[in-house]
Amino acid sequence: MTPEFRPPRRLNVFAFDPSTARSFANCNARTVKITLPYELDPPDLGKPFYGPKGKYVEVVDFDPASGAFYAPVNLNDDAVMFNDGLPPSPENPQFHQQMVYAVSMNTIAAFEEALGRVVQWAPTEKKIERKGKDPEWTYDFTRRLRIYPHALREANAYYHPAKKALLFGYFTAGPDSTSAPSGTTVFTCLSHDIIVHETVHAILDGLHPTFAEDANPDMRALHEAFADIIALFQLFSFPSVLEEQIAKTRGDLSRQNLLGELAQEFGQAVGRGCSLRDFLGSVNEHGVWEAQEPDPTKLRDATGPHDRGAVLVAAVFRAFLTIYKTRVGDLFRIASNGSGVLRDGAIDPDLKRRLASEAAQCARRVMRICIRAMDYTPPVNVSFGDYLRAIITADRDLFPEDAQGYRAAFIEAFASWGILPEGIASISEPALCWPTLDIAEADRQALRGISEDMSWLDKIHSNLGLMLSQPRKMLSHFASPMSIDGEDRRARYQEEVKRAQVEAQQVGILIHDRLTRFNDASTTMTVKEKVPARALQLDVNLLEVDDSRDREIVYHASSHYQRLLWLLMNSASSPRFAELTGLTFSPDAPATVRRSRTTLLPSLHVSAVRIARRQGQRGQPEREYVIEVIQTRRGYFDPDRQAHEDARPIDPKDSDRASDFKFRAGTTFLVDARSFKIRRLIRSTYAVDDPDGLTACRAYVDGTDAQAANAFYSGRSSRAAAFADLHHPPHIKDGFR
């Protein structure tokens, strides 16, 4: 049966955690209906849809603590399908499965809409032991994120980066619980807030795997705060959940701050969550909730991901409120005959609905701005200041005129909370924008007191253009012998070429497979089933084939370009280019800067080549490529040891040498998809060979390492445990830090 149109899938979920026994006033808004776009998981109505296991996620309901499995829901079952899913009920584990599926998919939809491409999970890493050789790490496409709604029996839920899984816990509410009655079971997988939060961790990890590192005070905080911001605005984008609160304000524009109270209530899932929204406001001595005035000193004094993250959440929320109030000012005037002050009593229901829908739209808008900014950050070692610059630049590139004052609102909110990039003299939109290539080059020349033609950049652009649009030719150019000495290094180089080739062939094979499916029915012509992989290697822009909806094709295309770009940068990089981009190619860089085993020069890790599609002010499609390059240096706590290691003879094998921490730096390039010109350069604050960057990183890592949360171990946690520990903040009170 072919559906006549592309029906979206609608599913019921809880907006408020049902176990938290909230006030009766909210009972209308307790559930909401999520509408998932058709193309995310196109329903195949003839077949059951167990799990749910779709193209992005698979829900597996195993409860190891109870030694029990729970049967998967079938969302295509008629009784389920035509009732918008199972009715919300905490008693039925199948509803839990439906809820984690619906909410996580809805979050994915929000990201795809904002970024204009499919969401990818972080690649699956596998260590392959090889006899007599160093173990090899392989990276592969991660098809689905696993979701376990009942994996833990504790008040925790987290994204597990190594397992590519979300683990949700359940627990019995304790006497300290603020909202759930003592003795009842609380399921974290029934909290809309927590599901979105964990899904965002997974998505951000796919976008920027290095952001889970803990190399400066802001990185974990940014992960936490970003997850929390999206969780909050995702809920605010349902107008129905806002209506009650807006009605309470009885049409007083200044009291629209009360939305912050609602935001905090959402965060009050039992056991965790509220702390990130602490700075939105609090209940005063008269028992009345009050918004908190921004305090630029808070960030300076805050330590730890939660305290710092709370400042970022407060800043973004402030920007949201400003935007919202600006947008509804006219509604208030219209409804009050121009005075702007409504009469006392209940608010007009039409006005209430209009206000709620404006607020929901603002929430979506702010959320999109926040998500898009993640393509505009340095690839590593990011700070809150960088994130502000990313927000402003991303929005400005899309909407050159700040007609509605959104960017002004963000700048004001961030500045009033003390979030500012380091070394920026004035807080203005142009100053905050990341430099364009021309500006960066002009600065480079001025700094070195030279004045030369900028035409050398044309060569770089034409190389980029050829690489992207004729990848096969470019690769065969690199495959021919190069000035690489030594058998071992030549073999490594050829291996790199081979790997790039394999990725490109994967793209071809996947597209070919699709074509062979027509064979069954076709009578006029058939596609040959067996074709040598070489013949399938396309010589077109692989990032744009097949409308880029197939995540596996997109993965291999990106991965191909990452390898190809590595070959390109290693074959044609000039000192000028290094100076311009903040990358280091010099053989004289300290020995602790990781070296390539192929070139013996400082190694480059091309961590991403991806496309971003957006709709501009006039509705025109805008496309650009985002390219990220990372460099790494070994760091040591003891400065003498560092000096000693820096002065060692260069040995590329040293990349495996033990070190106390890793210092990373890098640059993001934004490349125009039509002209292949680099539009902007987004450099991390320090270059990889910058001693100041190393010192700052050392101070931070050393400090957190010494901070113990318990009587035995270090205060730092591994990448695998990053998120599990993040949600168990240590409670240090009177101890030494």
Window 717-736: residues binding other proteins (CB under 8 A):
720-721, 724, 728, 732-736
Ranges within 261-290 binding other proteins (CB under 8 A): 271
Applying CB under 8 A, the span of 24-32, 143-151, 601-609, 628-636 interacting with other proteins comes to 143-151
Nearer CB in complex with other proteins: 160/664: 160
Nearer CB in complex with other proteins: 170/561: 170
Q: Give the SS3 label for residue 358.
A: helix
Distance between CA atoms of 261 and 26, rounded to whole angstroms? 14
Nearer CB in complex with other proteins: 110/180: 180
- Contact criterion met (CB below 8 Å) for 660 and 646: no
Least distance in Å: CB of 683 to other proteins?
34
Ranges within 498-537 binding other proteins (CB under 8 A): none
Applying CB under 8 A, the span of 28-36, 56-64, 128-136, 499-507 interacting with other proteins comes to 56-64
Q: Give the SS3 label for residue 54.
A: coil
Q: Which of 31, 89, 92, 436 binds other proteins (CB under 8 A)?
A: 92
- Contact criterion met (CB below 8 Å) for 383 and 685: yes
Ranges within 643-702 binding other proteins (CB under 8 A): none
Q: Which of 12, 17, 43, 51 binds other proteins (CB under 8 A)?
A: 51
Nearer CB in complex with other proteins: 5/137: 137
Does the protein bind other proteins through residue 21 (CB under 8 A)? no
Quick note: the x/- pattern for other proteins over 388-427, rule CB under 8 A, is ----------------------------------------
Least distance in Å: CB of 712 to other proteins?
5
Q: How far is CA 139 from CA 128, 543, 724, 725, in A?
A: 11, 19, 23, 25
Least distance in Å: CB of 202 to other proteins?
13
Q: Give the SS3 label for residue 614.
A: strand
Q: How many residues bind other proteins (CB under 8 A)?
A: 71
Distance between CA atoms of 63 and 167, rounded to whole angstroms? 10
Spatial CA neighbour of 551 closest among 512, 498, 486, 507:
507
Nearer CB in complex with other proteins: 410/723: 723
Q: Which of 21, 68, 531, 643 binds other proteins (CB under 8 A)?
A: 68
Tokens of 545: 């084939």
Least distance in Å: CB of 98 to other proteins?
14
Nearer CB in complex with other proteins: 17/375: 17
Does the protein bind other proteins through residue 709 (CB under 8 A)? yes
* Count, residues in the chain: 737
Contacts of 736 (CB under 8 A, 6+ apart): none
Least distance in Å: CB of 277 to other proteins?
21
Least distance in Å: CB of 672 to other proteins?
39
Spatial CA neighbour of 229 closest among 122, 373, 379:
373
Tokens of 332: 């208030």
Least distance in Å: CB of 126 to other proteins?
8
- Contact criterion met (CB below 8 Å) for 652 and 595: yes
Distance between CA atoms of 597 and 39, rounded to whole angstroms? 43
Nearer CB in complex with other proteins: 153/489: 153
Ranges within 161-200 binding other proteins (CB under 8 A): 162-165, 167, 169-177, 182-183, 185, 187
Least distance in Å: CB of 70 to other proteins?
5
Least distance in Å: CB of 566 to other proteins?
27
Q: How far is CA 252 from CA 261, 337, 351, 533, in A?
A: 15, 14, 12, 67
Q: Which of 6, 255, 648, 737 binds other proteins (CB under 8 A)?
A: 737
Least distance in Å: CB of 708 to other proteins?
4
Q: Which of 43, 54, 72, 602 binds other proteins (CB under 8 A)?
A: 72
DSSP letter at 123 equals P
Nearer CB in complex with other proteins: 189/409: 189
Peptide bond into 639 cis (omega under 30): no
Q: Are strands 185-187 and 165-172 parallel, antiparallel or unpaired?
A: antiparallel
Q: Which of 64, 87, 329, 400 binds other proteins (CB under 8 A)?
A: 64
Nearer CB in complex with other proteins: 65/283: 65
Ranges within 148-167 binding other proteins (CB under 8 A): 148, 151-155, 160, 162-165, 167
Distance between CA atoms of 205 and 714, rounded to whole angstroms? 24
Ranges within 105-134 binding other proteins (CB under 8 A): 124, 126
Helices 384-398 & 219-236, crossing angle to 10 degrees?
Answer: 50
Contacts of 296 (CB under 8 A, 6+ apart): 415, 416, 417, 418
Q: Quick one: 227 exposed, middle or buried, by C-beta within 10 A (0-12, 13-18, 19+)? A: buried
- Contact criterion met (CB below 8 Å) for 370 and 229: yes
Does the protein bind other proteins through residue 714 (CB under 8 A)? yes
Nearer CB in complex with other proteins: 563/727: 727
Distance between CA atoms of 113 and 105, rounded to whole angstroms? 12
Nearer CB in complex with other proteins: 528/737: 737
Q: Which of 22, 26, 62, 623 binds other proteins (CB under 8 A)?
A: 62
Applying CB under 8 A, the span of 13-21, 329-337, 549-557, 714-722 interacting with other proteins comes to 714-722
- Contact criterion met (CB below 8 Å) for 263 and 317: yes
- Contact criterion met (CB below 8 Å) for 545 and 557: yes
What is the DSSP code string of 636-688? -SSHHHHHHHHTSPP-GGGGGS--SEEEEEEEEEEEETTT--EEEEEE-SS-T
Does the protein bind other proteins through residue 93 (CB under 8 A)? yes
Q: Quick one: 577 exposed, middle or buried, by C-beta within 10 A (0-12, 13-18, 19+)? A: middle
Least distance in Å: CB of 169 to other proteins?
8
Least distance in Å: CB of 174 to other proteins?
3
Distance between CA atoms of 373 and 315, rounded to whole angstroms? 15
Applying CB under 8 A, the span of 52-60, 323-331, 356-364, 611-619 interacting with other proteins comes to 52-60
Nearer CB in complex with other proteins: 46/449: 46
